[in-house]
């Protein structure tokens, strides 16, 4: 399934007619209503048919389109046997965590047969975001694009493209992903990897019996197309390139950036990137592969977690030129040469670091110069002891895989954190003592400590309203150094610094970029390195932060921030809606 959004509007007959049309459209665009029916559907990929969880029977799910300033109401009805929640990834949800979606954090799940309306307003954002299931591994098939257009009359900060096309990267399992994660958590071992990557749900011709399941982007010579790229893959960062074409990066995570042009980009799970692709001025008598393949942010081949359990396949789409001189398209790919791009090596960390260093904002928002609250989080792998009556398949005999932030492997409660906070009934649900620093220090990127066990807990870090926050996230070498795309709900943040090795609190802050740092909602902690972010805690509520590699999140690499109410009425968390699901 692909959706094309044309940015070319018909020219009005007169200024009066244009004004009347604009007023009508504006009057109709204040509220966007969507009906999302969560239902099973049979889908065939890789020569096999299986029943998957979908929205409205579509895979990927329907695109949600709105304008900046619109109110959006999505009525979600659950018709499947699984509990369900949906997360509107990157939407700020100001004072409105009830619409954010992570199960047992901001809401209890929507049970079978139940309905819940996600009601939110898109404020101060435009660009590409996405929505997905936020419970267990159901987002493997339950996801779709969010397209936020600028307000009427507000142009892009670049020439308007001829056409806009969402391009969503995903993963396909022949097996039931709920069974995959359940088995991994029971045994304490690594889950089985996916069988294919997909572009808009299609694996493409490089996989067996999948030539007919290929995403094809039909273009005209001499035009500029905006590709709205979304990485919805569960566990893989991806390189992306289009043969014999360049890509101009103009936006990431729904925030404009200073444009720069590349042949290949990197996009991590949870991230979005808008690129401009300008086609060749004349019909090239050729077609071109669009390829995506995994980046392995990892540096320990002795560890059983990686690289033995990776999907090292490549997904391909095809860029097809329409011959303006012939109304008849070629009958098959064999009629024209098909060019293929060269992607970086799977472990090209230098390429990834260089790409990240080029991202700069338009410097339209002020970066916090002073900091009220400083945090230092270690993010990395670890182990749990194997229960006495079980056999475990973890990295060391008698252990289970675990992941943690500051040595705390987060345990989801049975009651939603936000509801517990709002009602003042948090006792026994969560603790408010999440550590601001690691409980013990070691050479984080050197030899790992002898004791690799991590603790368990349901804890939040408490922030006063409007506090300026600096957070440094440090990868650790326990069970190998691995990159981690960390997503913060409810906020955008500025990426003010990053580097390899151990963070130096004395010398590294002097190198921070406080002028034009990129603004994101999902940032990668580099393998064997660190990243520093700053944000303003201006959104009261409980906000999840977690690794967007689903396997790491399932093992516990997640935590929550509790932002207290401010003193003014518009600085307080709004009350819950009447249809909020109960646990």
Strands (E), 123-244: 127-133, 143-149, 163-172, 196-199, 216-219, 224-231, 237-242
pLDDT of residue 309 exceeding 70: no
CATH of domain 25-154: 2.60.40.420
Encode pLDDT of 406-443 as tens digits.
999 999 999 999 999 999 999 999 999 999 999 999 99
Q: Report the pLDDT averaged over residues 384-398.
A: 89
For the chain, give the number of residues.
583
CATH class of the 373-563 domain in this structure = mainly beta
Work out the pLDDT band at 7, boundaries 50, 70, 90.
Answer: very low
**DSSP state string for 302-361:** TSTTSSSS----EEEEEEEE--TT-SSPPSSGGGS-EE-PPPPPTT-HHHHHHHHHH-BB
- Of residues 326 and 496, which shows the higher confidence score? 496
Domain definitions of the chain by residue range: 25-154, 158-358, 373-563
Prediction pTM value: 0.94
Encode pLDDT of 545-568 as tens digits.
999 999 999 999 999 999 999 999
Q: What are phi and psi of 488, to 5 degrees?
A: -105, 120
CA dihedral 533, 534, 538, 541 (to 10 degrees): 30
Residue with tokens 């096999």: 48
Domains 158-358 and 373-563 share a fold: yes
* Average pLDDT of every residue of the chain: 93
Work out the pLDDT band at 329, boundaries 50, 70, 90.
Answer: low
Residue 254 φ/ψ region, left for φ over 0, alpha for ψ in the -120 to 50 degree band, beta for the rest:
left
Work out the pLDDT band at 20, boundaries 50, 70, 90.
Answer: very low
- What is the token pair recorded at 537? 């805690």
Encode pLDDT of 109-154 as tens digits.
999 999 999 999 999 999 999 999 999 999 999 999 999 999 999 9
Distances from the Cα of 247 to the Cαs of 243, 294, 351, in angstroms?
11, 19, 16
Q: Which fold has domain 158-358?
A: Immunoglobulin-like (2.60.40)
Percent of the chain with pLDDT over 70: 92
Q: What are phi and psi of 530, to 5 degrees?
A: -145, 160
Return the half-sphere exposure (C-beta side, CA atoms, 13 A cut-off) of residue 490: 28
């Amino acid at each position: 399934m692909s959706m094309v959004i044309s940015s070319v509007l018909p020219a009005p007959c007169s200024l009066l007619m244009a004004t009347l049309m604009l007023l009508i459209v504006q009057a109709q665009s204040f509220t966007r209503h969507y009906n999302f029916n969560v239902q099973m559907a049979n889908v065939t990929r890789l020569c096999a048919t299986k029943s998957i969880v979908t929205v409205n029977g579509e895979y990927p799910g329907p695109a949600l389109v709105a304008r900046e300033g619109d109110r959006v109401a999505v009525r979600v009805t659950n018709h499947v046997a699984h509990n369900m929640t949906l997360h509107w990834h990157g939407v700020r949800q100001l004072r409105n965590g009830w619409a954010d979606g992570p199960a047992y954090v901001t809401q209890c799940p929507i049970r079978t047969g139940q309905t819940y309306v996600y009601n939110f307003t898109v404020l101060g954002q435009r660009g590409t975001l996405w929505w997905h299931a936020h419970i267990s591994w159901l987002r493997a098939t339950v996801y779709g694009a969010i397209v936020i257009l600028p307000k009427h009359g507000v142009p892009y900060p670049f020439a308007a493209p001829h056409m806009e096309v969402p391009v969503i990267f995903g993963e396909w399992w022949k097996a039931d992903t709920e069974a995959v994660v359940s088995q991994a958590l029971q045994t304490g071992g690594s889950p089985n990897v996916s069988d294919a990557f997909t572009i808009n749900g299609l694996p493409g011709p490089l996989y067996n019996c999948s030539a007919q399941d290929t995403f094809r982007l039909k273009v005209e010579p001499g035009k500029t197309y905006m590709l709205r790229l979304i990485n919805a893959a569960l566990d893989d960062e991806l390189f992306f390139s289009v043969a014999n074409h360049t890509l101009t990066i103009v936006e990431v995570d729904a925030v404009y950036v200073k444009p720069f042009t590349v042949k290949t980009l990197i996009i991590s799970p949870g991230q979005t990137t808008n690129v401009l692709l300008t086609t060749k001025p004349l019909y090239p008598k050729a077609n071109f592969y669009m390829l995506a393949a995994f980046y392995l942010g990892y540096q320990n081949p002795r560890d059983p977690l990686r690289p033995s359990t990776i999907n090292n396949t490549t997904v391909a789409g095809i860029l097809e030129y329409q011959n303006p001189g012939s109304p008849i398209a070629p009958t098959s790919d064999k009629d024209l040469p098909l060019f293929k791009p060269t992607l970086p090596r799977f472990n090209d960390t230098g390429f990834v670091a260089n790409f990240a260093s080029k991202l700069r904002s338009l410097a339209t928002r002020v970066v916090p110069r002073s900091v009220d609250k400083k945090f230092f989080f270690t993010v990395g792998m670890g182990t749990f002891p194997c229960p006495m009556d079980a056999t475990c398949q973890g990295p060391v005999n008698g252990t289970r895989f675990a992941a943690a932030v500051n040595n705390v492997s987060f345990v989801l409660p049975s009651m939603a954190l936000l509801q517990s906070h709002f009602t003042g009934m948090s006792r026994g649900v969560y603790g408010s003592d999440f550590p601001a620093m690691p409980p013990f220090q070691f050479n984080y990127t050197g030899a790992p400590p002898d004791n690799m066990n991590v603790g368990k807990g349901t804890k939040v870090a408490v922030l006063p309203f409007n506090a300026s926050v600096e957070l440094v996230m440090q990868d650790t070498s326990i069970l190998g150094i691995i990159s981690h795309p960390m997503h913060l709900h409810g906020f955008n943040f500025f990426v003010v610094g990053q580097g390899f090795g151990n963070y130096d609190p004395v010398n590294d802050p002097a190198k921070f970029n406080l002028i034009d740092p990129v603004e994101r909602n999902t940032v990668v902690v580099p393998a064997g390195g660190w990243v520093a972010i700053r944000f303003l805690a201006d959104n009261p509520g409980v906000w999840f932060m977690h690794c967007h590699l689903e396997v790491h999140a399932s093992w516990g690499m997640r935590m929550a921030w509790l932002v207290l109410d401010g003193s003014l009425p518009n600085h307080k968390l709004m009350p819950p809606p009447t249809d909020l699901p109960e646990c």
